[in-house]
Amino acid sequence: MTRTALVTGAAGFLGSHLVDRLLRDGWSVVGIDNLSTGRPGNLAGARPRSHFRFAKRDVRSAGPLPTADVVFHLASPASPPRYQERPVYTLETNAVGSQRLFRHASASGARVVLGSTSEVYGDPELHPQPETYWGRVNPIGPRSCYDEGKRYAEALASAWIREKSLDVRIARIFNTFGPRMALDDGRVITNFLAQGWRGQAITVQGSGAQSRSFCYVDDLVDGLVRLAEVAPVDGPVNLGNPDAETTVLELARTVRALTGGRSEIVHVPRAADDPDRRCPDIARARTLLGWSPTTPFAEGLRRTSEYVRSELAAGKESR
Ligand SMILES: NC(=O)c1ccc[n+]([C@@H]2O[C@H](COP(=O)([O-])OP(=O)(O)OC[C@H]3O[C@@H](n4cnc5c(N)ncnc54)[C@H](O)[C@@H]3O)[C@@H](O)[C@H]2O)c1
């Protein structure tokens, strides 16, 4: 029997790749998105498919939601400049939107995969970060609308699980990259690649000694699908690539070489509350989902670089 998925944030970077993967796997998919940071063009491949429907909707607002076997709840601003522009909206999306989705899933008997984030760990004292670590988050800083919004969504999910036996699986997503990322949303890989291809200076925040670990989008989406398909999971699951940890300065040098070597590397002030290290412990994902990333970082970077280059050539630099 065909399984049905409701994907919120379907026109975004991760959501649109998830939609494509589910359609390939034979799911029937309904995507909803308010197009605040997502782009209709991300769904160009999905739209003609008979098992796909799209509705422009805001997860915070009232109105009926389509029923589904699985709700993948990914709707939320995700890049620091975008969520810091609209902190109240970001909190509402994660609080009110998640509550609506959980209530809907509970009423219709759906299971939920909640797209949470490694930002729930804040600026961590523990490396790599296991799911048992409670985090070190500034609750009132400029990033708190996102970090605390996601922590609230996790708390809400846990309450629905305990009190109402809702089947929610929490994916703590670490930095993910790949084609379809918006070039203007300030995420480091696309930022550097766009600067490199334009021949502009590559702007490294601080000394660049801070590290990130980057997971290629196809691997991440595979983790989300596996998380939806296994037996109920008790507690959150980290999804990310622990083998691709790199300092931001190393990344800038790699990108400079990949984009023709014309850019100089310059240092700019560090953003407030920017974490020093970010690297997932994925032991639980390996055990529970049989999952680990398979795309080498260099290959993912090459594909993303080609995407950025073609977007710039086509003049599609902004949302
Ligand atoms: N990409 C990453 O590295 C990463 C890391 C950790 C967590 N995540 C999480 O994954 C999810 C997707 O992130 P992404 O990178 O694809 O970002 P994105 O901005 O490309 O996608 C988010 C989508 O949600 C939509 N959206 C936002 N608010 C909405 C609302 N109120 N109602 C309906 N739609 C709304 C946007 O229009 C957009 O299409 C987010 O929940 C994000 O927090 C992403």
pLDDT tens-digit series, residues 79-105: 999 999 999 999 999 999 999 999 999
CA distances from 30 to 7, 11, 33, 53, 316 (A): 6, 11, 10, 5, 26
Determine if ligand 1 sits within 6 Å of the CB of residue 18. Answer: no
314: CB partners within 8 A, 6+ apart? none
Q: Is residue 316 part of a domain?
A: no
Mutate to test the pocket of ligand 1, among 37, 148, 214, 220 (most ligand atoms within 8 A of CB): 37
- Give 77 Cα–ligand 1 centroid separation in angstroms: 5
Determine if ligand 1 sits within 6 Å of the CB of residue 215. Answer: no
Is residue 204 over pLDDT 90? yes
- Give 105 Cα–ligand 1 centroid separation in angstroms: 19
Determine if ligand 1 sits within 6 Å of the CB of residue 213. Answer: no
Q: Is residue 204 part of a domain?
A: no
Q: What is the pLDDT of residue 245?
A: 87
128 prior amide bond cis, ω within 30: yes
Mean pLDDT of all residues in 295-319? 89
Task: List the beta strands (DSSP E) in 44-103.
Answer: 52-56, 70-73
* pTM higher than 0.95: yes
Q: Is residue 264 part of a domain?
A: no
Q: Is residue 45 part of a domain?
A: yes
Is residue 319 over pLDDT 60? no
Q: Is residue 44 part of a domain?
A: yes
Is residue 188 over pLDDT 70? yes
Q: What is the pLDDT of residue 274?
A: 83
Determine if ligand 1 sits within 6 Å of the CB of residue 11. Answer: yes
Separation CA 251–CA 202 (nearest Å): 10
Is 146 tagged catalytic?
yes
Residue with tokens 């995969």: 113
Is residue 282 over pLDDT 70? yes
Q: What is the pLDDT of residues 26-57, one digit of tens each?
A: 999 999 999 999 999 999 999 999 999 999 99
Is residue 7 over pLDDT 60? yes
Q: Whose CA is nearest to atom 27 of ligand 1?
A: 76
Determine if ligand 1 sits within 6 Å of the CB of residue 179. Answer: no
Q: What is the pLDDT of residues 55-75, one digit of tens each?
A: 999 999 978 899 999 999 999
Mean pLDDT of all residues in 198-209? 96
Q: Is residue 253 part of a domain?
A: no
DSSP secondary structure code for residue 59 in this structure: T
- Give 79 Cα–ligand 1 centroid separation in angstroms: 8
Q: What is the pLDDT of residue 185?
A: 85
What is the CATH number for 77? 3.40.50.720
Catalytic residue among 83, 146, 152, 307: 146
- Give 116 Cα–ligand 1 centroid separation in angstroms: 10
Domain total in the chain: 1
DSSP secondary structure code for residue 290 in this structure: -
Q: Is residue 34 part of a domain?
A: yes
Q: What is the pLDDT of residue 317?
A: 59
Atom of ligand 1 nearest to the CA of 73: 41
63: CB partners within 8 A, 6+ apart? 57
> In a 10 Å sphere around its CB, with 0-12 CB exposed, 13-18 middle and 19+ buried, how is residue 9 labelled?
buried
CA 222 vs. chain centroid, Å, equals 13
Determine if ligand 1 sits within 6 Å of the CB of residue 59. Answer: yes
Is residue 318 over pLDDT 60? no
CA distances from 75 to 8, 11, 280 (A): 5, 9, 22
Range of the domain at 93: 4-178+216-242+279-294
Determine if ligand 1 sits within 6 Å of the CB of residue 211. Answer: no
Q: What is the pLDDT of residue 120?
A: 97
- Give 72 Cα–ligand 1 centroid separation in angstroms: 11
Q: What is the pLDDT of residues 251-271, one digit of tens each?
A: 999 999 999 999 999 999 998
Q: Is residue 32 part of a domain?
A: yes
Quote the mean pLDDT of the chain.
Answer: 95
